Structure 1
């Protein structure tokens, strides 16, 4: 039965270990071929209503955010960090490697949590994993909140922005990694860095995607 599929076993069976293209000091369990895994996930797991396998790829915004954190560890060093919609765990791993005092990674997909756990072990770091939907809860007690590739659909973008505004009001700093997705709140961001990021050609429209890191600013009063 599909409900008996073990997430860790599924991740291990359908990925191989690769260095992250724009952060090669980090290695991840990644899919070699996007379309095949996407179809397999729909065939094997679609009946139990799980989302697509975002966890199996190093997305452009996440790679940019991870690279910037590795290059500028003072952003997170000694601070509590929360990685929203962690996917593969890439950005959480970068934060842990850069000296964050405490890292929590969240994702509502239990297969993503399995992948993030495997990748955490692979990179010999440690962070907490949470599976509740954070957008239905108050923002976490974290000094830095990391969001990579989350502004790709309007309903999701609207929910994330409203939640992030609550976090800003509580004193958190919110960093965004994004390659220019359609619903990036361009009027609310301060540019920090830009990178040319190699990506999976079957997922994106280019083999190299220019991606930036921003700080989310509070709404205008």
Structure 2
């Protein structure tokens, strides 16, 4: 850690001590954080401008202003998982990087893209099922983008170990070659959302036929 990093960490701790300096302050801080996280979760998962609430499988990623794409994940239960993502009750991300500094969250509803695939690959996706297809897309996106928060694994000694994604024998890696066109379509949809500008209005979200992108930091 550099001297500048040490000063920043000390300032962070000092700020939190002020924000939690008494029972009343602690409750107000809890209210503020939950209200913000809940709002982000609603933008990610709820009905918006005629687009139905998120359900079923999605591929999603969190971008930070200074890092770019920092984390990629997938889920078959997008309605629950996306709401929980900024709250962090069952997900480590918000405990490491608070949603107040998330620049954008990209969500791709990849099942909406299956109709664009060759018939043989559509059948392959059907046989693999949504769980394996989601793992394939997650692996391929992580391998392509190398997001920092997916690139290391926690160890029991308090250290981190680099993940060798290119050598992975996970389900997603093993079946990655079976769905090349699906990943291409997902990458195109992802790039469109990731390149969108935050709207100037009060609702910091943009929609597409294949997902949405939410801009949490714009809420502040």
* TM tier, smaller: under 0.3
TM-score, structure 1 as length reference? 0.27
Larger Rg: 2
TM-score, structure 2 as length reference? 0.27
Greater strand proportion: 1
